[in-house]
């Protein structure tokens, strides 16, 4: 696999990261003949649970379920309501709204190469399998998402309508579905959402030297430099530290406090992140984890605004301003405070200076991570549109 046209065009740090995380070579062969991973040559396979191997029939069933509003108790929302293909399976909203109209406290994560994630959701180090994570949107009550708690039998009855009997027969050799089959099929579809056709991929993996402009290459070198230090949290082929695959089993801790908040909290002596969402600290009960959230992939990042766990930064330009400043200062309101002073802030968020041309170069590089084929792929689209 040819990574870059010339080693001189790439900083040493990035070359080392790629070599460490991509140790396989040659064209990959699928462990299951009914499913072929659409991967660039030499890209390692995602790790898939043994009890839920990938098959084309399960992926297709999962696609129907993903887009089916009857998967919510009140029939008003589907998974695709908050994970929309044209936005790289994110949504253009700061915080999601569930099927009952309840606003959530977090931004919907983009479902891009989730098959490679070693943790799921914004801030939970115990959710490592998609099958586990799916139980939250399906059954959570605080907040309600699809609201299926107590409505499981009703859902099974809804799944008796065409084309589900045939799809469950093909996927599980059963015309009477159960909830585990629903979860396994949804997980299989989500794992199939792979994006490796960006201009960056054409440059890095497909020998197309002209796929990136000189400005984008300048931005790439800045991105992977120790001066900006973006790659420490957004490194590797998936542009996130939260990565696991068949050739690398390092259990990296992908949660970071970036200095977004450092506000007074009523009833508490110490300032910090807002009490309604303290990130990983809510799971670990460790104050050192206050404000730590998972670094998401930057693949298709230009398509997934707004940004941060609560959608509080509207544009990529604002995100770059934020990291240039080394955190955020809020001068008024409930969350007033200087996030740059948070004691748990990552050592890599120190701020930096960019000229106007360097700033445009970094933004141009981030835009090169967009994959137009991914957001138009008919194999990922709504299958119900073909039904009368």
DSSP 162: T
Average pLDDT over residues 186-203: 98
Tell me the Cα Rg of the chain: 21
Is residue 293 classed as helix, strand or coil in its secondary structure? strand
Provide the pLDDT for residue 280.
97
Phi, psi angles (nearest 5°) of residue 338: -105, 100
Burial of 152 (C-beta count, 10 Å sphere; 0-12/13-18/19+): middle
Average pLDDT over residues 176-187: 96
How far, in Å, CA of 246 to CA of 244, rounded? 7
| 345-378 pLDDT per residue, tens | 999 999 999 999 999 999 999 999 999 999 999 9
pTM exceeds 0.85, yes or no: yes
- Token representation of residue 282: 């809510």
Provide the pLDDT for residue 19.
31
Average pLDDT over residues 124-151: 95
Is residue 48 classed as helix, strand or coil in its secondary structure? coil
Provide the pLDDT for residue 243.
81
In this structure, of 122-126, 190-194, 280-284, 384-388, the range with the lowest mean pLDDT score is 384-388
Closest CA to 54 of 79, 27, 31, 38: 31
Report the percent of the chain where pLDDT is more than 90. Answer: 82
Is residue 245 classed as helix, strand or coil in its secondary structure? strand
Residue 49: pLDDT above 90? yes
**Residue 22: which pLDDT band, with cuts at 50, 70 and 90?**
very low
Provide the pLDDT for residue 288.
94
- In the chain the first and final C-alpha atoms are separated, in Å, by 45
CA distances to 243, 255, 265 from 288, in Å: 23, 11, 16
Strand runs labelled E in 261-377: 293-294, 329-330, 337-338
Provide the pLDDT for residue 310.
97
How far, in Å, CA of 287 to CA of 273, rounded? 11
**Residue 2: which pLDDT band, with cuts at 50, 70 and 90?**
very low
Average pLDDT over residues 15-42: 55
The mean predicted confidence, pLDDT, of the chain is 90
Strands 337-338 and 329-330: antiparallel
Phi, psi angles (nearest 5°) of residue 254: -95, 25
How far, in Å, CA of 364 to CA of 293, rounded? 26
Provide the pLDDT for residue 276.
93
Provide the pLDDT for residue 34.
79
Residue 25: pLDDT above 50? no
**Residue 264: which pLDDT band, with cuts at 50, 70 and 90?**
very high
Instruction: Report whether 185 contacts 20 (CB < 8 A).
Output: no
How far, in Å, CA of 355 to CA of 205, rounded? 30
DSSP 87: G
Domains contained in the chain, CATH given: 56-194 (1.10.760.10)
Question: Hey, CA dihedral for 339, 128, 27, 199, is it positive or negative?
Answer: negative
How far, in Å, CA of 124 to CA of 26, rounded? 35
């Amino acid at each position: 696999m040819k990574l870059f046209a010339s080693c001189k065009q790439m900083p040493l740090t990035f070359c080392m990261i790629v070599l460490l995380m991509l140790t396989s070579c040659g064209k990959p062969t699928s462990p299951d003949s009914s499913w072929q991973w659409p991967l660039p040559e030499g890209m390692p396979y995602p790790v898939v649970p043994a009890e839920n191997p990938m098959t084309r029939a399960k992926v297709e069933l999962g696609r129907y379920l993903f887009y089916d509003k009857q998967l919510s108790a009140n029939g008003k929302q589907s998974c695709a309501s908050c994970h929309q293909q044209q936005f790289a399976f994110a949504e253009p909203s700061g915080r999601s709204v569930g099927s009952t109209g309840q606003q959530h406290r977090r931004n919907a994560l983009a479902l891009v190469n989730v098959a490679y994630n070693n943790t799921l959701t914004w801030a939970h180090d115990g959710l490592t399998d998609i099958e586990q994570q799916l139980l939250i949107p399906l059954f959570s009550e605080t907040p309600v998402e699809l609201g299926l708690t107590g409505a499981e039998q009703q859902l099974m009855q809804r799944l008796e309508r065409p084309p589900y009997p045939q799809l469950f027969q093909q996927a599980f050799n059963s015309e009477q579905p159960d909830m585990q089959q629903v979860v396994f099929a949804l997980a299989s579809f989500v794992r199939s959402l792979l994006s490796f056709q960006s201009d960056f991929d054409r440059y890095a993996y497909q020998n197309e030297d002209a796929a990136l402009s000189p400005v984008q290459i300048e931005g790439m070198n800045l991105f992977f430099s120790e001066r900006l230090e973006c790659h420490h949290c957004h490194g590797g082929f998936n542009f996130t530290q939260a990565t696991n695959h068949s050739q690398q089993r390092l259990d990296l801790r992908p949660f970071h406090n970036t200095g977004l908040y450092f506000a007074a909290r009523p009833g508490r002596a110490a300032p910090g992140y807002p009490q309604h969402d303290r990130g990983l600290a809510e799971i670990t009960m460790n104050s050192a984890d206050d404000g730590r959230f998972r670094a998401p992939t930057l693949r298709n990042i230009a398509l997934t605004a707004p940004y941060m766990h609560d959608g509080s930064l509207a544009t990529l330009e604002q995100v770059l301003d934020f990291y240039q400043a080394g955190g955020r200062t809020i001068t008024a309101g409930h969350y007033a405070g200087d996030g740059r002073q948070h004691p748990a802030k990552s050592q890599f968020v120190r701020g930096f200076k960019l000229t106007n041309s360097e700033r445009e170069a970094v933004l141009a590089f981030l835009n090169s991570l967009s994959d137009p084929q991914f957001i138009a792929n008919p194999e990922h689209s709504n299958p119900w549109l073909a039904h009368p």
